[in-house]
Amino acid sequence: MAAVLAMVARGCGGVWRRLRQRCAVRPGSGPFPRGERAVACNARGGMMSAGKSGLTPWIPVVGLEIHAQISSNSKLFSGSQVQFAAPPNSLVSFFDASLPGTLPVLNRRCVEAAVMTGLALNCHINKKSLFDRKHYFYADLPAGYQITQQRVPIAVNGSLSYSLCIDNKMSQMVTKTVRIKQIQLEQDSGKSLHDDARSQTLVDLNRAGVGLMELVMEPDMCCGEEAAAAVRELQLILQTLGSSQAVMAEGQLRVDANVSVHHPGEPYGVRTEVKNINSIRFLAKAVDYEIQRQIEELGNGGTISNETRAFDSKLGFMPEPNLPPLILYDAKSLPANMNHQQVINIDWIRERLPDLPSVKREKLVEQYGILPEHSFTLLVWQQDQNCNSRHSNEDGLPEFFENVVKQTQMKPKKVIGWILNDLLSYLKQHSLTVKESPVSSFLLADLLNLLEKKEISSTAAKQVLAELWKGKGKTPLETVKEQKLELLQDQKELEQICQAVIDGQENEVMAIKAGNQKVLNKLIGLVQKKTQGRSNPVLVKQLLEKKLSE
Amino acid sequence: MLRSSLRQVSAALKEGRVTPTELCQRCLALIKSTKFLNAYITVTEETALKQAEESEKRRKRGQPLGILDGIPIAVKDNFNTAGIETTCASNMLKGYISPYNATVVQKLLDQGAVLLGKTNLDEFAMGSGSTDGVFGPVRNPWSYSKQYKEKSVPKSHSEDEEYNWVITGGSSGGSAAAVSSFTCFAALGSDTGGSTRNPAAHCGVVGLKPTYGLISRHGLIPLVNSMDVPGILTRCVDDAAVLLGSLAGHDPKDSTTIQDDFKPFELPDLPDVSKLSIGIPKEYHAPGLSSEILSLWSKAADLFKNAGAKVVEVSLPHTRYSIVCYHVLCTAEVASNMARFDGLEYGHRSDVKDSTESMYAATRREGFNDVVRGRILSGNYFLLKQNYEKYFVKAQKVRRLIANDFGKVFGSGVDILLTPTTLSDAVPYTEFIQEDNRTRSAQDDILTQAANMAGLPAINVPTALSERGLPVGLQFIGRSFQEKQLLTVAKWFEKQVQFPVIQLEEAERHDNGVFQHQKSASFS
């Protein structure tokens, strides 16, 4: 293939494709065999059967390498802005283009983000870490090396707890832990655009030099679902910290999975790498597919080989001579005469860490008595929200829920149903963020109060809500009044309606009298219909029963 | 006027005895008539005259930017200069116009200096002769001096000047030749293993390599990042102190510069060395050291003794590993630093376009000379995963031992080390090129390189003329960041030895000013 390399002109369109995917064993976008049963998750710690032919069980082992783009105004070693989808090569400093004589200058914000992330993931923060050059020739790596932390990374030996449900049942959640080997700071590369028609490779350096945290997770997982759950939790933590926006679709969170299988009691098998996975859903599928593939391959007498590793093994490292060791301090080691603008104090950062998702969930469960799985839905949905809106610290679903609870007499346990069922489904249906909801927490609380005071039935409440979604600026009470949805307070009127229903349904009355109590529900329904949902079903039932027994 | 020192000419500018434009024009004229030296790659006549004009306005207004305002200077062509070609004497960067100024260049311009041009060097500063650049070798001005012609040429079998001209040393040979031939008052060089001090010694000028981290490297195209230092070439030690004062200090763009403020200093008029302890490292009595230089070295030690200083023999036992250690560290960093020259973003790009890889290969083959390619090859070998521990890590450890040697000596009470700068005086070009670059560099760097390994400040002070009428210099090595003490000693020594001024026909023709510091007595 002839390839002419050129810098992309501003405004040049096209589809981006990472060439390095070609090195991957299984390209990130390969077709997924239809109808192939994904490997069942063995969240209980079970083993995998090798399918029809398998007699000895297989144990799959999954480890992850995750690149999280640091959320910062400027790049890791230069003053260029960081911005998604800017015109090609519009955010490139002399250093980013590796002009001769330029030198890296470490961005304090990126270091703080890595320290924050390290602390949140229970890591040991190295007070002295070092930068290295990792050499390889690639068009979107202008210097011919990437500055990374090969020898002594900024954070090591951490852990991440995540939960997942067994057999897709929300009620059966288990919590697992994956060890974090290390977190290292490193530069992102640029992007190559391959124009096959004209045999050209175009290079966009906007992303070159953006700060990344590479998180290496030990192979403590055993299926796609576990990997997905771990990444989802990590994503949530990063977004809570604000250390990364972690939007997978924008490449702010990129996952490589190492997969191998082995028999119990035997050493780990040869691992392969599934690279550049860009959605959580695909991560689960890709990992399970690779496990299944390896099991089948080995079952058929084949072997697993790792092309990616062979490619990597020749790469050389060298200390980055232009950056002194990165020294961090804690309260104890902080020198008295040091300018505080020039030092990073780990303890200072630790004290200011926000509540992590796990703590937030615990608090929600404890404070409001909601179910743990509901706390997950609240937080996970907040995360999905952030993916769309890219405002990682905005008030999300948990805050909405808490605000409703504050403003209503209804018990939180009942409120959560309205949030998770009614609000959530509406927002999902219309692809709205919590902030964009036409019904504010105040309005919803107002409505729930009417329900709680028995001024309207729950059927009516839903009708009111449907009206409120239209966002016409009316209060729930106004809507109730307008549509005459308030509960019938006049007992005589209700009795008359009940009587009318009984009189009109001779067959049903006979059935009930014959002992078929189920039919009573039909009568209740008819009363509700006649009253347009304005009757209190409990009261209606009492009245009907009374009349039928007369 | 052209032959006076920077401080003297600055005084003349201040008093209005000469204007910046006149000075600039005279320098430009001399550059033209000494073009055969090949000291300059680019002469920036137009911008220089403009800068001189600006300086003149400031001086007329009585608002000069300082001592450097209106002073013509030259810069080695491995420092980035905005809008002016920066080539590193390589095909790879021929025609490359940098969009920014190196910090040191910016500092000089900010203080009103007039940039005359970019000086010649070995390609990417890899060499010790200034003979291996794509623009051809630099000729040592002393080859054309009355002193050399009188002493050397009659002994030669050939009358042909072409055959007898001697090299400048390198790699900052262009800068040394420019200062030596009076075409500028100061020049920037770079010093990684001796590249400022070595040509300074051969060209009879002062060459200062400051402490690593004292002057910004931002914009200096690197050879070995962990050893590179911008170097200062001047006619006398006082001038070096002036330049140092205007260049030193923290640069936010170079994270390896020290944070502490640097206070510019003036050197005492009558330096006192009687309370000092001067160390004579015995390992610098190296194989190949000429008897002439050995005897000068010993006379110099006597001068200090006679002045009341304590002179002690000291040992730097790991010096002998310095060359091989340097070879590994240098080539490894070179391999890494040169990786960026792939023809994509800037510089030469080959027409070969069968594939990306073949384009890379052809670009680098066409762009780099054999010396550069050879070093890249060795460096990549040392950086291979299986070799890294064996070579690179070991070399780093040896480097630490070399640095520790100095630490011990200075810790024992020695203030300054006195050594030769070079093994001999400059050799004729024809002789020099008999050996390859690697052998030459290994031989020539032997006395200068250890200071780079340890990051210490060191200075060449022109000392005497050899029997052949060529300059010989001695080197002083000081403690880290103790430039003031180092320069004070150097100035005292300079006063003692009264190094003769080069008698260069071209310069004399262009210079009708008063010959300020003609020396009759010489130290030999």
Give tens-digit pLDDT for A498-547.
888 888 888 888 888 888 888 888 888 888 888 877 777 788 888 888 88
Distance from CA of A379 to the nearest CA of B (A): 42
Q: Do B385 and A137 touch (CB under 8 A)?
A: no
- Under DSSP, the state recorded for B457 is -
Q: Using a CB–CB cutoff of 8 Å, tell me whether B391 touches chain A.
A: no
As a whole number, mean pLDDT of residues A248-256 equals: 93
Q: How far apart are CA A213 and CA A235, in angstroms?
A: 13
Chain B residues 53-92 with CB within 8 Å of chain A: 79-80, 86, 88
> Crossing angle, helix B370-383 and helix B356-367, to 10 degrees?
130
pLDDT category at A49 given cuts 50, 70, 90 is low
pLDDT category at A314 given cuts 50, 70, 90 is low
According to the model, what pLDDT value does residue A334 have?
Answer: 87
Residues B286, B424: contact at Cβ < 8 Å? Answer: no
pLDDT at residue A12 above 60? no
DSSP conformation letters of A504-539: H-HHHHHHHHTT-TTHHHHHHHHHHHHTTT-S-HHH
pLDDT at residue A46 above 60? no
> What whole-number percentage of chain B has pLDDT above 90?
86
pLDDT at residue A45 above 70? no
The residues with which A464 forms a beta bridge, in sequence order, are none
According to the model, what pLDDT value does residue B77 have?
Answer: 98
- Under DSSP, the state recorded for A167 is G
pLDDT category at B160 given cuts 50, 70, 90 is low
Residue with tokens 């040592």: B140
Q: How far apart are CA B347 and CA B367, in angstroms?
A: 9
Question: pTM for this one?
Answer: 0.87
According to the model, what pLDDT value does residue A310 have?
Answer: 43
Distance from CA of B397 to the nearest CA of A (A): 14
According to the model, what pLDDT value does residue B108 have?
Answer: 98
Q: How far apart are CA B369 and CA B88, in angstroms?
A: 12
B438 exposure class (CB count in 10 Å sphere: 0-12, 13-18, 19+)? middle
Distance from CA of A89 to the nearest CA of B (A): 11
**Triad A214, A218, A221: Cα angle to 5°:** 115
As a whole number, mean pLDDT of residues A303-331 equals: 80
According to the model, what pLDDT value does residue A466 have?
Answer: 85
Q: How far apart are CA A466 and CA A473, in angstroms?
A: 13
pLDDT at residue B143 above 70? yes
According to the model, what pLDDT value does residue B322 have?
Answer: 92
Strands (E), B445-518: 458-465, 471-477
According to the model, what pLDDT value does residue B205 have?
Answer: 98
As a whole number, mean pLDDT of residues A401-413 equals: 91
As a whole number, mean pLDDT of residues B318-322 equals: 92
Strands (E), B220-309: 229-234, 277-281
Interface test with B, best of A322, A323, A338, A342 (most B CBs within 10 A): A322
Residues B514, B242: contact at Cβ < 8 Å? Answer: no
As a whole number, mean pLDDT of residues B116-120 equals: 98
Which residue among A3, A145, A317 sits closest to B356, beta carbon to beta carbon? A3
Q: How far apart are CA B193 and CA B215, in angstroms?
A: 16
The ipTM (two decimal places) reads 0.94
Considering only residues A195 and A36, tell me which one the structure prediction assigns the higher pLDDT. A195
Q: Do B342 and A137 touch (CB under 8 A)?
A: yes
DSSP conformation letters of A102-149: ------HHHHHHHHHHHHHTTPEEPSEE--EEEE--BTTBTTSEEEE-
Report which residue type is found at B132.
D
The b/e string for A269-293 (b: 16+ C-beta within 10 A; e otherwise) is: bebbbbbbbbbbebbbbbbbbbbbb
Looking at beta carbons, which residues of chain B come within 8 Å of A318?
A: 332-333, 336, 383, 392
Interface test with B, best of A5, A74, A148 (most B CBs within 10 A): A5
Q: Using a CB–CB cutoff of 8 Å, tell me whether B99 touches chain A.
A: yes
According to the model, what pLDDT value does residue B82 have?
Answer: 98
Q: What is the pLDDT of residues B54-70, one digit of tens each?
A: 999 999 999 999 999 99
Phi/psi for A343 (5° steps) reads: -120, 160
Q: Which of A148, A136, A142 is nearest to A187 (CA)?
A: A148
Q: Do A139 and B346 touch (CB under 8 A)?
A: no
pLDDT category at A434 given cuts 50, 70, 90 is confident
pLDDT at residue A234 above 70? yes
Q: How far apart are CA B2 and CA B33, in angstroms?
A: 14
According to the model, what pLDDT value does residue A384 have?
Answer: 57
Q: What is the pLDDT of residues B386-440, one digit of tens each?
A: 999 999 999 999 999 999 999 999 999 999 999 999 999 999 999 998 888 878 8
The residues with which B279 forms a beta bridge, in sequence order, are B312, B417
Q: Do B339 and A100 touch (CB under 8 A)?
A: no
Considering only residues A37 and B42, tell me which one the structure prediction assigns the higher pLDDT. B42
pLDDT at residue A379 above 50? yes
Q: What is the pLDDT of residues A168-193, one digit of tens each?
A: 666 678 899 999 999 999 999 999 98
pLDDT at residue B523 above 70? no
Q: Do A321 and B226 touch (CB under 8 A)?
A: yes
According to the model, what pLDDT value does residue A395 have?
Answer: 61
pLDDT category at A14 given cuts 50, 70, 90 is very low
Q: Which of B434, B451, B405, B465 is nearest to B192 (CA)?
A: B451
Cα dihedral sign for A140, A144, A147, A149? positive
Across chain B, what does the average pLDDT equal? 93
pLDDT at residue B490 above 80? yes
- Under DSSP, the state recorded for A239 is H
> What whole-number percentage of chain A has pLDDT above 90?
45
Residues B462, B201: contact at Cβ < 8 Å? Answer: yes
C-beta neighbour count of A135 within 10 angstroms: 20
According to the model, what pLDDT value does residue A307 have?
Answer: 63
User: Among A112-121, A458-467, B108-117, where is mean pLDDT lowest?
Assistant: A458-467
Distance from CA of B353 to the nearest CA of A (A): 6
pLDDT at residue B32 above 70? yes
Q: Residues, chain A, total?
A: 550
Q: Which residue of A has its CA nearest to B352?
A: A4
pLDDT at residue A5 above 90? no
pLDDT at residue A22 above 70? no
Sheet containing strand A173-187, edge to edge, reads: A124-125, A155-165, A173-187, A211-221, A59-69, A253-262, A272-277
Distance from CA of B348 to the nearest CA of A (A): 13
> What whole-number percentage of chain B has pLDDT above 70?
95
Where in the sequence numbering do the catalytic residues of B fall? 76, 171, 195
Residues 6+ apart with CB under 8 A from B379: B330, B331, B332, B333, B334, B335, B336
Task: Specify whether the backbone of B288 is left (phi greater than 0), alpha (psi in -120 to 50) or beta.
Answer: left
C-beta neighbour count of B112 within 10 angstroms: 22
Q: What is the pLDDT of residues A278-305, one digit of tens each?
A: 889 899 999 999 999 999 999 888 888 8
pLDDT category at B345 given cuts 50, 70, 90 is confident
Q: Do B99 and A97 touch (CB under 8 A)?
A: no
Beta-carbon contacts below 8 Å between A and B: 115
Report which residue type is found at A444.
L
